[in-house]
């Protein structure tokens, strides 16, 4: 096309200049050329235009025409390049929004939905109710209506919240919402991303209930164990009184002995051995990462430090993820309380991979343990809470085939958790 235009311009001679026609091949070439190639093509077209321009023009005028023609051709080509790039980015953004599993929508200042992706329509409406555009978002996410009613600088309003959503058929669901407000010439706008967290909430509550049941069974086992000990002591005392005072036929003493035996039979069922967690193969690295996220902020807040000594490659262990994390968290919280009054506040968590198991040690810089023999006994006097933390943690770890032990050392306390390796 450039060659045809140059030939026509040469044929026209002094009668007319056809330089304006070079804009057409410039715009076509910009669709496939890089920006620097577009500039080179613009200079080429400007040169051809100058060669076949009307003769007799002063050199200064010819130079100015060359400069302005180059700018015109390059500008038209780069404009097309930018237009195509913006269009491509717009298409990519539109595809990203439409393919997102999260509901993405925008509303005006009155709460009317201006735009929404397919996920938003599917989240709030049924297939029979049509599109979400034009509907009032307050009906589905009241929190967004409250956000629109807030005064202040709209462009600075960016936040996230958990709230309750409502579908068009009346069903409710927990929702995570990220939203921000901004201004346009047409007025204030609100953009929001909404995620239905019903499945997450169900999983969390079911897991919490399962762990609660396990903890209750272990606590009941501890109570049964203590009651059996008391019943055995009462029975032994009754036997000694019968032998010493020879009142074996005393009805009150026999009744007391019968009550002790009956209570012992009630407490004889062993709940601790009936714990059957859903064992699975879990990556220990993921559990340690979760523990780091949970405990490090608390230690930073009161000026403490956690030293992690982990191997480059962590093993896969046989356990139950939530229960193992709870056992680790209990040990870390015990250390947190122990070092609160210490001048040095440090917790060292190390992982050592052995032949068939992995050992995780929790070592703190606290004052140490006064009575290590009673550490894992339930209902300890002076303990924070019920005194069942270590008892339950050891029972949970042992249900995985591992163990939880106290390792004596000079200064501080050290607990060793053993978990079988897959």
- In this predicted model, what pLDDT tens digit does every residue of 37-57 receive, in sequence order? 999 999 998 888 888 776 666
pLDDT band per the 50, 70, 90 thresholds, residue 250: confident
pTM, rounded to two decimals = 0.58
Q: Residue 352 is inside which H or E element, if any? A: strand 346-353
The whole-number average pLDDT for the span 383-406 is 80
Residue 346 has pLDDT above 90, yes or no: yes
Question: In terms of C-beta distances under 8 Å and separation of at least 24 residues, what long-range contacts does 222-230 make, across chains too?
Answer: 222/272, 222/378, 222/379, 222/388, 222/391, 223/267, 223/378, 224/267, 224/268, 224/269, 224/270, 224/271, 225/267, 225/378, 226/378, 226/379, 227/263, 227/264, 227/266, 227/267, 228/264, 228/267, 228/268
Residue 358: predicted pLDDT = 95
**pLDDT, averaged across the chain:** 83
* Six-digit token string for 165: 């959503």
pLDDT, tens digit, for every residue of 75-122?
888 998 889 888 888 888 888 888 899 999 999 888 899 999 999 999
Q: How far is CA 326 from CA 12, 295, 390, 415, in A?
A: 89, 12, 11, 15
* Six-digit token string for 371: 């009575």
Q: How many CB atoms lie within 10 A of CB 289?
A: 12
The whole-number average pLDDT for the span 386-411 is 84
Q: The dihedral of CA 70, 76, 80, 86: what is its sign?
A: positive
* Six-digit token string for 106: 């925008």
Q: What percent of the chain has pLDDT over 90?
A: 25
Residue 273 has pLDDT above 60, yes or no: no
Residue 47: predicted pLDDT = 87
pLDDT band per the 50, 70, 90 thresholds, residue 272: very low
The whole-number average pLDDT for the span 326-343 is 90
């Amino acid at each position: 096309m450039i060659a045809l235009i140059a030939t026509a311009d040469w044929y026209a001679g002094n009668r007319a200049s056809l330089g304006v026609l070079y804009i057409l091949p410039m715009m076509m070439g910009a669709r496939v050329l890089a920006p620097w190639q577009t500039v080179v093509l613009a200079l080429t077209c400007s040169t051809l235009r100058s060669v076949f321009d009307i003769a007799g023009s002063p050199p200064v005028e010819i130079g100015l025409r060359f400069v302005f023609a180059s700018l015109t051709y390059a500008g038209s080509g780069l404009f097309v390049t930018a237009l195509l790039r913006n269009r491509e980015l717009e298409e990519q953004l539109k595809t990203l929004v439409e393919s997102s599993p999260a509901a993405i929508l925008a509303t005006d200042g009155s709460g009317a939905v201006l735009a929404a992706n397919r996920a938003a329509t599917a989240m709030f409406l049924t297939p029979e109710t049509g599109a979400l555009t034009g509907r009032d978002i307050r009906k589905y996410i009241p929190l967004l209506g409250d956000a629109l009613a807030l005064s202040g600088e709209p462009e600075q309003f960016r936040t996230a919240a958990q709230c309750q959503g409502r579908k068009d058929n009346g069903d409710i669901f927990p929702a995570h919402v990220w939203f921000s407000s901004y201004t346009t010439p047409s007025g204030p706008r609100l953009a929001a991303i909404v995620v239905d967290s019903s499945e997450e909430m169900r999983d969390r509550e079911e897991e919490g209930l399962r762990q609660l049941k396990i903890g209750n069974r272990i606590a009941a086992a501890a109570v049964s164990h203590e009651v059996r000990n008391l019943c055995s002591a009462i029975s032994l005392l009754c036997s000694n009184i019968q032998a010493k005072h020879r009142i074996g036929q005393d009805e009150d003493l026999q009744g007391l002995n019968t009550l002790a035996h009956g209570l012992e039979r009630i407490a004889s069922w062993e709940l601790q051995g009936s714990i059957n967690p859903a064992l699975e193969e879990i990556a220990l690295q993921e559990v340690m990462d979760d523990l780091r996220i949970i405990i490090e902020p608390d230690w930073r807040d009161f000026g403490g430090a956690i030293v992690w000594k982990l191997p480059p490659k962590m093993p896969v262990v046989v356990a139950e993820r939530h229960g193992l994390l709870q056992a680790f968290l209990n040990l870390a919280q015990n250390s947190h309380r122990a070092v609160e009054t210490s001048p040095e506040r440090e917790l060292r968590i190390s992982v050592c991979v052995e032949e068939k198991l992995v050992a995780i040690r929790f070592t703190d810089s606290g004052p140490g343990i006064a009575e290590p023999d009673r550490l894992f006994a339930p209902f300890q006097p002076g303990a924070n809470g019920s005194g069942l933390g270590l008892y339950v943690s050891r029972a949970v770890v042992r249900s995985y085939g591992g163990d939880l032990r106290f390792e004596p050392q000079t200064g501080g306390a050290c607990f060793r958790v053993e978990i079988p390796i897959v």
